[in-house]
Amino acid sequence: MKTITILGSTGSIGQNTVDLIARNADAFRVVALTGGRNIELLAKDAIRLRAEVAVTAFEEGLESLRTLLAGTGIEVAAGRAALLEAASRPADWVMSAIVGSAGLEPGLAALRHGGTLALANKESLVCAGPLLLAEAERHGATILPVDSEHSAIFQALAGEDMEAVERIIITASGGAFRDWPLEKLKTATVAEASAHPNWAMGQRITIDSASLFNKAMELIEAHEFFGVRPDQIEAVIHPESLIHSLVAFRDGAMMAHVGMPDMRHAIGYALNWPERHALPVAPLDLVKAGAMTFRDPDENRHPALRLAREVMQTGGLSGAIFNAAKERALDGFIAGEIGFLDMAGIVETVLEKMPAAAEGITLDRVLEADAEARRIAGGITQSVH
């Protein structure tokens, strides 16, 4: 029986994972479920999946969680230390689906027991890719990508020689504003940015899709995870979201991963890897789907892709700085402090202000750079406000 932990079980990826586990509950034993503020959902799933321990990342949720799980025999805990302890409990397969750089340390803790880390938390690779990969290697752990684009690339690369890879092409739906002119983007609201045309996801990644920051993060994620040069990675707008990414080989062949936009495919692939099991995902009817179209992203409207290229070239701590500045700017946009277009300007300014090159990546340095980038981004946000 496979033992499972879900970090971020109450989120969008977490819930899709819970759904897959619950459909085949006898095949799994759930070690830990962790959540944030949605205590009721955490408790409900802990009972449903008979988890050993349920953890909320925030101390203030402890009493409610304890009350909801009283008499069930499920262990209850709260706070950052409890989250890290739960992540470090041995499990064959751990889903890393906490949002933001808050997911980095729990992911590292999970790698240390040498199982499989199913990585949805792209921020871990953006902030500290070399650290994460080194930790996996040191402990004989496996990292499997869950981001749909990276799962697609991983599948296209199965059995291939990396020497034969010419380019990786990451598709982007273009998000909620793919057809909006620059002028209109200035007044875009949080509600408008939170309405993704094709994918149902958490609010933060949905807004990042509209600004193309999500795609920018994915370029860096591909660079770190697959070890390809920045000039070998490109993004292309594909509004239908049916091709989830492609690999171009030196013989001219392109391998594309094609399917319905449903995260349970990428999660289920990582769950069953290296086997393929049946999944509750609707098959794609190619004739009904009709045309698949592609176009270049407009970098005037969305500078995030250019910033991602700079980050890949610079390396060092620039990914941690980029991500933290983006997270803080996103907080500011969601709180109504800054406009949609201000986010990219803030990230660019923070990158200019903070030296990032030539520094070795350690966890302490990443956390320091993260805190400093948030502080500077917060200051700029206040001045814009």
Residues in contact with ligand NDP by the rule CB under 6 A = 8-14, 35-38, 57, 83, 97-99, 102, 120-123, 147, 199, 201-202, 204-205, 263
In the complex, what is the shortest distance from the CB of residue 203 to ligand NDP, in angstroms, rounded to a whole number?
Answer: 6
Nearest alpha carbon to residue 123 among 379, 364, 367? 367
Please state the closest distance from residue 205 (CB atom) to ligand NDP, in A. Answer: 4
| Smallest distance from ligand NDP to CB 318, Å | 19
Q: What's the longest Cα–Cα distance across the chain?
A: 62
Strand partners for 2: 28
Cα–Cα distance measured from residue 152 to residue 252, given in angstroms and rounded to the nearest whole number: 19
Pick the closer one to ligand NDP by CB: 43 or 317: 43
Helix (H) or strand (E) holding 28: strand 28-35
In whole angstroms, the minimum distance from the beta carbon of 122 to ligand NDP comes to: 5
Quote the least distance from Cβ 360 to ligand NDP, whole Å. 25
Nearest residue (CB) to ligand NDP, 64 versus 349: 64
Amino acid at the residue 24: N
Closer residue to ligand NDP in complex, CB, 101/381: 101
Nearer to ligand NDP, 121 or 155 (CB): 121
Looking at beta carbons, which residue is closest to ligand NDP? 11
At residue 188, φ and ψ (nearest 5 deg) are -60, 140
Minimum CB distance to ligand NDP smaller for 63 or for 231: 63
Place of tokens 């981001």: 147
- Pick between residue 97 and residue 354 the one whose CB is nearest to ligand NDP: 97
Q: Distance (Å, rounded) from C-alpha 286 to C-alpha 240? A: 12
Complex with ligand NDP: residue 240 or 359, whichever CB lies closer:
240
SS3 256: strand
Nearest distance in Å: CB 352, ligand NDP: 25
H-state helical runs in the chain = 12-23, 39-48, 62-68, 80-87, 104-111, 122-138, 148-156, 182-185, 190-193, 203-211, 213-226, 263-272, 286-289, 304-314, 318-334, 342-353, 363-384
DSSP conformational letter for 10:
T
Closest approach, Cβ 118 to ligand NDP, in A, equals 10
